[in-house]
Amino acid sequence: MQQYKKNNDLIYGIRPVMEAINNNKDIDKIILQKGARGDNFKELFQLIRQYNIPFQYVPAERLSRYTRGNHQGVVCFMSSVVYQNIYDVLPLLYEEGKTPFLLLLDKITDVRNMGAIARSAACAGVDAIIVPSKHSSQLNEDAVKTSAGALHAIPVCRHDKLQDVLIYLKECGIELIACTEKGDSLFYQHEYSNPLCILMGSEDEGISEQYLSLCDKQVRIPIAGAIPSLNVSVATGIILFEVLKNRLSSPIV
C-alpha cells in the first residue's frame, strides 16, 4: 500500500474535506470508512457525488495507516496537478491552428508508469492527456517527479465518462487509434498526420472493449522475444514517437 510522506498530499476530517471540495481543489480520491454515519457524513457524500469525485469505502484500520489524526472516517488525497476539461482544451487547440495530438490512458494505475508516460508525451508533442476519474493513477508528487515536471507542462483532463469523451472527439474530427495487441496491423504502417487520439490500456486488462469499438484503427507493436508484452510506458513512448516522426516528415504539419 502506498504511504504518503508529506502532509500536503492529504487532508482528513469531514469539514476540511468539504471545504476543499467547495473551494474546487483538485482531488485525486477520497477514502471513506465503511459504516460511517451521521448528518455531516451524509452532507459530505452528497458533495462527493455532486462533483463526481472518485471515492472508495475501506475498513477503519486502513484509514489509520494514512494518518494518526482524527480523520472522522474521511481521508482525501490531493492532486499535485490541476485537472482540465477536454471540452475546453480541444476547441482552443483548433483555434490555435494546431493539429490535435491527444493521448487517452485507460486504467493506468501505476504512479511511475503514469509519470514516465507523461514525460514521453510532453517530449513527443502531445497536446493533452485524458484519464478516467476512476481506475487511474493518483497524480501525486511521486508521479510529478517521475514525469520530470511534464505533468505540470501538459494539460491533464480527467473525466467520469470516457465513452462520451470519445464520441465527442470523433464528432470533432479526431481519429481514434488504439494501440493494442489485438490490432490487425502494425503501428508503423499508418499515417498520423490527421488530428488524432492514441488510446493505451493497462498491461493486465488492456483497453476496454467499449472504447475499442469506437476506434477508427487498432494497431499493434510487434514482439519478437519470449516476453509477450511491453511495459505500458515503453509501448506508449514507441507509438508517440512514431506519430512525431510521421508528422515531422509530413507537409501537413
CATH superfamily for domain 7-78: Ribosomal protein L30/S12 (3.30.1330.30)
130 strand-pairing partners: 104, 157
Domain locations in the chain as residue ranges: 7-78, 83-248
pTM of the shown model: 0.83
Rounded distance between C-alpha atoms, residue 22 and residue 61, angstroms = 28
197 strand-pairing partners: 102, 176
Task: Spell out the per-residue pLDDT of the chain, length 253, in tens.
Answer: 333 334 457 889 999 999 989 888 888 889 999 988 888 999 999 999 888 888 889 998 888 888 878 899 999 988 888 899 999 999 999 999 999 999 999 999 898 999 999 999 999 999 999 999 887 877 877 888 889 888 889 999 999 899 999 999 999 999 999 999 989 999 999 999 999 999 999 888 889 999 999 999 999 999 998 887 899 999 999 999 999 999 998 654 4
Rounded distance between C-alpha atoms, residue 112 and residue 47, angstroms = 30
Contacts 24+ apart (CB under 8 A), 37-46: 40/14, 40/15, 41/14, 41/72, 41/73, 41/74, 43/18, 44/14, 44/17, 44/18, 44/74
Q: Which fold has domain 83-248?
A: Alpha/beta knot (3.40.1280)
Indicate the pairing of strand 175-179 with strand 217-220.
Answer: parallel
- On the question of a common fold for 7-78 and 83-248, the answer reads no
